[in-house]
Structure 1
Amino acid sequence: MTRILPDGYHALAPGKLANVVTFLETTAPPAPSGRPAPAGYRLERVERWTLAEFRRLYVEIGARWLWTSRMLMSDAVLAERLHRPGTEAYVPVSDGKVMGILELDFADPADVELSFFGLVPEAIGGGVGRWLMEEAFRIVWSRPETRRLWLHTCHFDSPQALPFYVRMGFSPYARAVEVHDDPRLIGRLDPAAGPHVPVIAEARLPDL
């Protein structure tokens, strides 16, 4: 059952973070742009991650934006999630270095989730993100079962993320509030990560 928050302020338990999540979707393939891959880039499919390799890349891409979901998983849960039937992972590679991640969830072949999309800092700019998204479109819409591609982003993420998804043809359709542990307070991320979201180590509940 979906729980709807009433208007007003809602206190968080100490050690928790809350962010506003926006869900976006597209229900038709875009017209191919015909752009080639950025110079020196190619897309490779990941047949099987090692946990250390995935976590290193996940932190390199997302630590500054407080990506948390996979950081809070145990080894067993993370391994199950990464290798779940229907999950496909791809990485853009330049000069032998992995420069990002594209993860697609085909658990429901008609309703595909773009579950992770991101670039390492040095790959941002120059059209790499647009090319990677167009590769996602190519993979997803080449399958006749596809009826919808959806994703979510949040206000902790790069301020460029939401406008980029809209420019690429996604339409916002829902919002939610996500509450989770602050990974910096439980040793999963460096305390300096995500400086745009203050660390509150000893929170006092406000009188609301």
Structure 2
Amino acid sequence: MTETPFLPDGYHALAPGKLANLVTFLEMTERPDRPRRPAPAGYSLEPVSHWDTDVFLALYREIGWEWLWSSRLLMPRERLEAKLDAPHMRSWCPVKNGRRMGLVEMNLSKPGETEISFFGLVPDAVGGGIGGWMMREAIELAFARPGVTRLWLHTCHFDSPQALPFYMRMGFVPYARAVEVHDDPRLIGRLDESAGPHIPMIRNGRSPDLG
């Protein structure tokens, strides 16, 4: 078994055009003993039987614009379509008045565990307890699979500052951290330059002064 390489202490320069993101991994190993809540007024959680790729990307951008969600935007389209259609991927959307207001995506590829690969709401759905209801429903769906003893997800410091404490309140426990390096999607035209306003965009990067 190959050991995971760990970064040594100190600063580590990034190539121009790249971003580095501190990721926190969280898990729960049993279903929390707490009552489910009724859906907020007008809402239902509906499964997605098949994604139109452009519809998915539009919702993905709407949810993740402020937080610089980009992993699906950086995928070649053929790979994204294959992933969305993969039999081990499942999606649900909170729906109000016929409009999809968010996304819960799960990866069921490993027996005994479920990954929540994406969880988020469109900006005008944030607040009012919708996220808490949606996560409780997601937890029920995940542990309803036979033999599932672990549910996990990850969040990052580019995300809303409310995300990590929210997941912990819902019963997830942090267990690992990693640094993710990827292209800045704004510099390659995958996101509008106004996206992720809390993350400065560096147009003409150069080597940092590391001492």
User: Where on the TM-score scale, by shorter chain, does this alignment land: which range?
Assistant: over 0.9
For residue 69 of structure 1, report the CA deviation from its aligned partner: 0.4
Superposed displacement of residue 33, structure 1: 1.8
| 2:116 paired residue among 114, 117, 120 | 114
Aligned residue in 1 for 2:26: 24
Match of 1:85 in 2: 87
- How many angstroms does 1:40 deviate by? 0.4
1:61 lines up with 2:49 in the alignment = no
Q: How many residues align?
A: 208
* Further displaced range: 189-198 or 28-37: 28-37
For 1:35 and 1:175, the matched residues in 2 are separated by: 31
State the superposition RMSD in angstroms: 0.9
Q: Return the offset for 1:178.
A: 0.3
One-letter amino acid of the structure 2 residue matched with residue 205 of structure 1: S
Within-5 A mapping of 1:1-208 = 1=2, 2-208=4-210
> Percent same amino acid at aligned positions?
61
Structure 1 gap segments, 5+ residues each: none
CA shift for structure 1 position 105: 0.8
Q: Distance in 1 between matches of 2:134 and 2:209?
A: 47
The CA deviation at 1:109 is 2.8
SS of equivalent to 1:48: coil
Structure 2 counterpart of 1:199, one-letter code: M
Deviations 1:136-175 (A, max 9, x none): 1111111221010000000000000000000000000000
Tell me how far apart the structure 1 counterparts of residues 52 and 98 of structure 2 sit (CA, whole Å): 18
Contact 2:94 2:101 in 1 (8 A): yes
Moved over 2 A (4+): none
Letter in 1 for 2:25: F
Question: In 1, distance between residues paired with 2:20 and 2:36?
Answer: 40
Matched AA of 1:179:
V
Residue 51 of structure 1, CA deviation: 0.7
- Give the C-alpha shift of residue 199 in structure 1: 0.3
**TM-score calculated relative to the size of structure 1:** 0.98
CA distance in 1, matches of 2:37, 2:83: 33
Distance 2:116 2:8 in 1: 30
Aligned partner letter, 2:169: R
